[in-house]
Structure 1
Amino acid sequence: MPPRDQLRALLVAVVWGLNFPATAVALEHFPPLLMVALRFTLVAVPAVLLVPRPQVPLRWLLGVGLGIGLLQFVFLYLGMAAGMPSGLASLVLQASAPFTVLIAGIWLRERITRRQALGIAVAVLGLAVIAVHRAQVAALLPVLLTLCGALGWAFGNVCSRQARAPKPLHLTLWMSVVPPVPVLALSLLVEGPDRVVTALRTTATAAALPSVLGLLYIVLVATLLGYGLWNSLLSRHPAGLVAPFSMLVPVVGVLSSWLLLGEGVDRTELLAGLVVVAGVLVASRPPRRAPAGTPPPEPVVGTGAVVVGAPPSGYGR
């Protein structure tokens, strides 16, 4: 991955890390399912009116919308509403990175080098240290809900990789068409019409202003900018190279939640965060050029004929 794309991936990590305290603030006013519906409705309406439909097969558009749009955020917001701290949520959600590599290895037959596997293992170790250290602050259900969100994100990542959208921003905008109707129906069923109407009716009040600003950050910055860059990277690089950068998100998430919301952070979490950074850097380094005639390094993930850096089998189908 060239340095410019590495910087873009780092920018996505910062944007998404700040997304977690913004989400915590927004959830103080909006019920979680309603917030998912609002988030994507605010993107879907102008997308349908102003942006051409992305030139990708419908199955991959639906897959990205279902995974990244619906499953990830329904489970994440439910988990945070159930008591998951925003900093810890930013950590647990990054299980999407190993989930993505695993799904890509099985489904797309993408291979990963030993260096990349080592980097991912180091990053996962750092995440595990933070998770164990903070396990006492969250009940089991919020953690499980957030892990389900991570699995949905991974599924959407692989669908985005397969879509190979010529204009990734169009895919980012149009994936927002998938969640609003089913999630709004679910919100009315689970959260109830009274709660939904009350939240919408009081949106313009001073008390709701911080939550509205949090929602706008989520829509304009985390969704449009973040996923625009993310899908662009996935359209040009194998999922195994892009996904490890998402492990940097909890470092930003934990620190920003500490600074903005007063959530606790200590030396153990900071040191483990540095381990995560080191793992991502190792995983993202390009392999050394082998001398002429040297066999390629033996892959450690995947069983097919596709290597990291080459288009996956099935590209364009």
Structure 2
Amino acid sequence: MSCTLSTRTLVVMPTRDRLLALLVAVTWGLNFPAIHLTLQQFPPFLAVALRFAVIAVPTLLLAPRPRVPVRWLLLYGTGFGVLQFVFLYAAMDAGMPTGLASLVLQSSAPFTVVLAAALLRERVTPRQAVGVLVAVVGLTGIALHRAGLEGGATLVPVLLTLCGGLGWALGNLGNRLATRAAPRESFRLMLWMSVVPPVPMLALSLTLEGPDRITASFDGLTTPTGLAALGGLAFTVLVATVGGSGVWTALMSRHPAGVVAPFSMLVPVVGIGSSWLLLHEATAPAELAWGALVVAGVLLGSTARRRPAGPEPARQPWGTTSAVAIAATPSPRPVSPSPSVVVAETVTGAPTAIDRTA
């Protein structure tokens, strides 16, 4: 497959997509208090298994598998579903404050940008780099302030949460690669991603948490604690996973990972605020100031200046490629030396060859 490629291209994220990314950030920020409620009743690894099993069972029965290479689906499910949540839930169960967990997990954004640049050859523009740097400064300021208020987080929960952020970043890459192969199947891809975690997470729960603890966690589900745990589980499944992850997957299919990922830096702003309102965790005006810096960095990194170098093509429909090419000197797109390797074009991030075999 060949097509022309302009020497000067510009990636522009439409306002609608930025608003959708913001909505996902709010949803995922509220997800942390919901996880906290779930962990009051269920052990962490069982909670992850339940979270995805609720989606996996109807998916296996009703949804055809998306036509993407199995390895990308496994990478997506393992990174996003297993590694992210096994470390996050373990960290929160070990005492990681809910608001601080929502902050540290956003290490996934710089992890994603770096991994996408290194492995997918997605270009990081100076504007995006500055935006990510500004947001990271804001996140660091919130982290230092939170650590001081909480008396300092222990090293192990922080390291566990950072590992969860790295797992999320790996899942983002699997998502990106899979949606390139089937950009119109992003929702089914998200559903089938949920098929990956339940079995390994249940095995991990049986091994480390034990049958007795698992059985005891189903007692008292009609108590206020049990009902709150079920409500938190329902929120993580229906709103955060099906709704939020479905929209996130669609956005990743339309835009380079380095453009979408910085929006996840807004999650700790919502997570800290909601934890203060719902769980009475301490907050302070200084955190709001650092949070405003995070917002500024995300907006800077997710927008770009238009250059009048030529006519702009018509807007692409939902589920198609996201790059806006500005006409200049056309040149043929290079072809990957092997069809089993997806090579991202260094400017637009579009694949040059896609292996569609499973």
TM-score, normalised with respect to structure 1: 0.93
1:223 matches 2:241: yes
Tell me the matched-pair count.
309
SS in 2 for 1:68: helix
What CA distance in whole angstroms lies between the structure 2 residues aligned with 1:79 and 1:308?
A: 38
Provide structure 1 residue ranges, at least 5 long, that are not aligned to the other structure: 296-303
1:306 matches 2:345: yes
1:92/1:147 contact within 8 Å kept: yes
What CA distance in whole angstroms lies between the structure 2 residues aligned with 1:69 and 1:195?
A: 23
Amino acid aligned to 1:4: R
What CA distance in whole angstroms lies between the structure 2 residues aligned with 1:176 and 1:305?
A: 26
Provide structure 2 residue ranges, at least 5 long, that are not aligned to the other structure: 1-12, 311-326, 330-342
1:238/1:308 contact within 8 Å kept: no
Could you list the structure 1 runs, at least 4 aligned residues long, displaced by more than 3 angstroms after superposition: 204-207, 290-295, 307-310, 312-317
Map of 2:129 onto structure 1: 117
Offset at 1:286? 2.2
SS in 2 for 1:177: coil
1:40/1:179 contact within 8 Å kept: yes
Offset at 1:50? 1.1
Map of 1:288 onto structure 2: 306
Offset at 1:202? 3.4
Spell out the pairing of 1:50-89 with structure 2 (5 A cutoff).
50-89=62-101
1:269 matches 2:276: no
1:160 matches 2:175: yes
Map of 2:276 onto structure 1: 258
Amino acid aligned to 1:235: S
What CA distance in whole angstroms lies between the structure 2 residues aligned with 1:130 and 1:95?
A: 13
Spell out the pairing of 1:98-137 with structure 2 (5 A cutoff).
98-136=110-148, 137=150
Residue-by-residue CA offset, 1:44-79 (whole Å, 9 max, x unaligned): 001111111111110011011000000000000000
Spell out the pairing of 1:224-239 with structure 2 (5 A cutoff).
224-239=242-257
1:108/1:313 contact within 8 Å kept: no
1:244 matches 2:262: yes
What CA distance in whole angstroms lies between the structure 1 residues aligned with 2:53 and 2:352?
A: 34
Map of 1:300 onto structure 2: none
Amino acid aligned to 1:160: N
Map of 1:279 onto structure 2: 297
What CA distance in whole angstroms lies between the structure 1 residues aligned with 2:23 and 2:225?
A: 31
Identity level (%): 60
SS in 2 for 1:220: helix
What CA distance in whole angstroms lies between the structure 2 residues aligned with 1:87 and 1:207?
A: 20
TM-score, normalised with respect to structure 2: 0.83
More helix by share: 1
Residue-by-residue CA offset, 1:120-143 (whole Å, 9 max, x unaligned): 100000001111122243211111
